[in-house]
Amino acid sequence: MYALAASVAVNPEGTLPRLSQDQVWHGLVMKAENAVPFVPGMESCVVIERYDDGFLREVVLRGDRFRERITLTAPVQVHFLRVGTTDHAGWVANVISESASGLLLTFTFNTNFPGVAPGSPEEATAGAAMRTSYMGAVAATLAMVRRLAGEGKL
C-alpha cells in the first residue's frame, strides 16, 4: 500500500472569502454526497445507502467505477473507505484542524497500485501522479467551497 498525507492552508493570505471551519465542514459533506462539481475527473457519484454515521456511494472517476463507505465525524473528518474491490483498495481521509497559522485541511490517502510492486520506481511514479491528482482535488474542493460561501450557499 502507498500512503501520503499533506496539509494545505484553508485561508492563505489574500484569499477571499475567508472560510470558517463550519463552512469547510459543510463543503466536505456536500463533496462526499456528490463529488462531481468538486473533483476534476469525477464522472458520477451516487449515494446508494445511508447509515447513522455516513453512507455508501458509487463513483466513476476517470472511467473507473468503485464504491466507497463514507464515515462522517462531525465537524472534523470525512473518511472514504473503498469497498468491494481489490484493484482500487484503500482509503482517504479529509481532516479539518486549527494550527498556529490558521485553519488547515489535511488529506491522507492509502492505496494500492494494481500490478505495481511496493517500493518500486513504478510505485514512486504512480505515487507522484496520485499526489498531483489529490492536491488538485483539494484545491478544487476549497475553490468550490469558497465559491459557494461567496454566493451565500454555505
Axis-axis angle for helices 21-33, 121-150 (nearest 10): 120
The string of pLDDT tens digits covering residues 87-123 is 667 899 999 999 999 999 999 988 877 778 888 888 8
For the chain, what are the domain ranges?
2-150
Contact 81, 94 (CB under 8 A): no
* β-bridge partners, 47: 57
The string of pLDDT tens digits covering residues 115-148 is 788 888 888 888 888 888 888 888 888 999 999 9
Specify the CATH number of the domain 2-150: 3.30.530.20
Mean of pLDDT over the chain:
91
Contact 38, 29 (CB under 8 A): no
Top mean pLDDT of 28-32, 34-38, 39-43 is at 28-32
Distance CA 77, CA 87 (A): 25
16: its cell numbers = 477571499
